[in-house]
Amino acid sequence: MAQAQTGMNKFYLVLGGGRVIRDETLLYLMGKPKSVSIPVDVTVQTADTAGFRGYLLGSDTAKVEVTEYADYQCPVCQDFETIQFPTVRQQLIETGLVRWRYRDFPLDMHPHSRVAAHAAACADEQGKFREMHDALYRNQAQWSPMRNAAGAFSDYAKAAGVDGAKYDACMSSAKYAGRIKASFDEAVKLGAKGTPNFVIGGRLYQTTMPSDSIRAIVMRALTAAAPAPAQ
């Protein structure tokens, strides 16, 4: 009888343990970020672009503005951002020569690029664009092959210091879909096709470039913009 009782106790212990596991799994699934979809064919409203020209970095008084049109899921863009851009930032932006303008150009071939662009916009809403931008490129190899990258993006945003609830609400609303579409349309109008693209001194460069090449083009643009010496 004691053995039977012991067996029953083990049965209920296992049953209870199974229930705990199921409950923990349910809680995990309930808390897991859901898939996020950002619409592509939206009508751009005036409010989508009012007061916004892109994500700016550098002095407002810089004589040369460089615009980068890029895709967060593009491996070539990732190489530029992680290898070349730190030198560009040190030599050209922090010295006051250049103001950098980052614009989204999410390609259809990259299924997570538009969601990533929206994630950066939601982080920007809380003053954390650059932190999120860098995290997306730095961790591209991790999230790019995922079926659903929303959870990874949420983790990066929280690590950057954003309010998680506000970020999640922003992502669910897809409120910046029009802004991203406007940026995409701007790039297409200029003639951009692949990524990355750069506009320097009013000229479009449809290829990635080492920091030395960008510096050389900027210096030529500065020379062209300099006033002619008095006669």
CA-closest candidate to residue 152, choices 70, 169, 160: 160
- Predicted model pTM: 0.83
pLDDT of residue 227: 61
Strand order in the sheet with 197-200: 55-57, 98-104, 64-70, 197-200, 203-205
Is there a contact between 73 and 121 (Cβ–Cβ < 8 Å)?
A: no
Cα separation, 68 vs 196, in Å, equals 7
Q: What is the DSSP letter of 207?
A: S
CA-closest candidate to residue 112, choices 158, 150, 156: 150
Listed in sequence order, the residues at least 6 apart from 125 whose beta carbon sits closer than 8 Å to its beta carbon are 166, 170
Is there a contact between 149 and 36 (Cβ–Cβ < 8 Å)?
A: no
Proportion of the chain above pLDDT 90, given as a percent:
76
pLDDT of residue 176: 97
Strands 197-200 and 64-70 come out as antiparallel
CA 213 to the chain's CA centroid: 25
As to burial, measured by CB atoms within 10 angstroms (0-12 exposed, 13-18 middle, 19+ buried), residue 64 is buried
Q: What is the mean pLDDT of the chain?
A: 87
Q: Which two tokens stand for residue 173?
A: 């609303």
Domain ranges in the chain are: 58-224
pLDDT of residue 11: 39
pLDDT of residue 17: 47
Cα separation, 171 vs 43, in Å, equals 18
Q: Which two tokens stand for residue 138?
A: 């730095």
pLDDT of residue 177: 97
pLDDT of residue 41: 85
> Cis bond leading into 229, ω under 30°?
no
Residues lower than pLDDT 50 in the chain:
1-4, 8, 10-21, 23-32
pLDDT of residue 2: 43
Q: What is the DSSP letter of 41?
A: S
Is there a contact between 129 and 123 (Cβ–Cβ < 8 Å)?
A: yes
pLDDT of residue 190: 96
pLDDT of residue 142: 98
pLDDT of residue 207: 87
Class of domain 58-224: alpha beta
pLDDT of residue 121: 98
Q: At what angle do helices 129-138 and 113-124 cross, to 10 degrees?
A: 150
